[in-house]
A and B are shown apart, each in its own frame.
Chain A
Amino acid sequence: MNLAYYPGCTLKTRARNLEEPAVASMEALGLKLDELPRWNCCGAVYSLAEDDLIHKVAPVRNLIRVRKQGASELVTLCAFCLNTLKRANLLMKGDAEKRDTLNDFIDEGIAYRGEVKVVHLLEVLRDEIGWGILAGKVRLPLRQLRLAPYYGCTLLRPREVAIDNPENPTVLGEFLKALGASPVDFPESTRCCGSYQVMNSPDAITEYARPIFNSASSHGAEALVLTCPLCDYNLGRGQRELAKKQGGFKEMPLFYFTQLLALALGLSPHVCHFELNHGSPESLLREKDLLPRVESVQPIGG
């Protein structure tokens, strides 16, 4: 079965370690992530102005293309893109006047009314596959790994697009349990990483990262599990700075949830691209016997 899939710009360059293990894992689970043949950048953030229409064109055009190819659901991996696409979709469902203006301007031949369902991969795993079935497919349980699920903002806010309870989310924790890991819940798991502030105030990002890491490590986490490439960048950069400034601060590996999925399903670690991660995840995985201690070398000539 094929799922229409929207990657977003960042997954094609620096966040290959979010996309590739996802594509491989879903194939292993019998659901193929079918990338939209023609898509444009969704705009990353949803414009919050009441009169704004031009910034809704980009996400809505992508949704129209999904509809035109006959799909009724669109899956995303990037939490940032999920938020923008889902909010734009709600607008097309709820506001008739704006919907008509946008449909007319975009002029792709159909009147789109928000028929496509926009979901994050975690929702697919939870609602369409189910944790029980997922647990049954695990070949390499991620035992002994104390992982802190970090949600950030865009999966849970505003309430109308949240994939889980915004104040007490559990979806990532359940996901990690299904993979055999020990999720470590911590109070700052929904605290913002700083988002676009990294562009103009990169030094401020350290202050966003501090309470998140301090809380995670004081609750016994060995690594964070992420769903968004911007969180990955900000937290990775933030912890590097904290290691310099805060005495005794130890950096921790940052994983994408899709990498853990691929690893647990028994897929080759090569598809995870751990070399692109922050915080040396490979040494932690080797410590827990989840990665071979040395790279096995094939003798020449077979």
Chain B
Amino acid sequence: MTKKASVTVSHRRLGREFVRKVKELSGQNLQLCYQCGMCTGNCPAAVNMDVSPRRIIELARLGLEEEIAGSKTVWVCASCLACTVNCPRGFDLSKVMEAIRLLALRKNVDRVRPEDVAPEQRCDLPQIAMVSGLRKFTG
């Protein structure tokens, strides 16, 4: 389920713009996490993720932007907030997920374009599905 990878940690990566922006956008203190794994255990989407939610926090605070960008975790996340509600440290992982998504979307790049949704789907889906989906996947 989760990828085992060896990563290089350095001062340069730790002090990166990326780490600062994630903290700013999410308003979360990434140092709070003690990697207990409750988030991954409660996540209904974890089975579809290549990098677990727990690991994403670790990658984020180590400034490993490329590893995060190469994973589909934040795009598979359904913002169900099970992680947030169950975290023993009161850390809001849903906000970190959103911050990582926005850092990509705010470059005016859509993850899913409206025209990628099949026409029959556009008629069939309830409006809240389209509204929320476009919010999370378009810039």
Contacts and interface: CB of A to CB of B under 8 A. Distances in A.
In the complex, are there CB atoms of A and B closer than 8 Å?
A: yes
Contact of B82 (A157, A198, A233): A157
Interface of B is mostly: helix
16 contacts: A13-B126, A44-B135, A45-B132, A47-B98, A47-B135, A49-B102, A158-B81, A158-B94, A159-B85, A192-B44, A195-B79, A197-B45, A199-B132, A204-B76, A207-B47, A229-B128
B133 A153 contact: no
A153 B92 CA distance: 15
Contact of A194 (B78, B84, B127): B78
B61 interface: no
B117 A200 contact: yes
Interface of A is mostly: loop
Contact of A9 (B81, B94, B111, B127): B127
Interface string B95-124: 101110010000000011000110001000
A8 B78 CA distance: 21
A230 interface: yes
A10 B81 CA distance: 23
A191 interface: yes
Interface in B28-87: 44-45, 47-48, 76, 78-82, 84-85
Contact of A208 (B44, B99, B102, B116): B44
Contacts of B95: 48-50
Interface in A1-52: 8-10, 13-15, 41, 43-45, 47-51
A177 interface: no
B44 A199 contact: no
Nearest to A166: B85
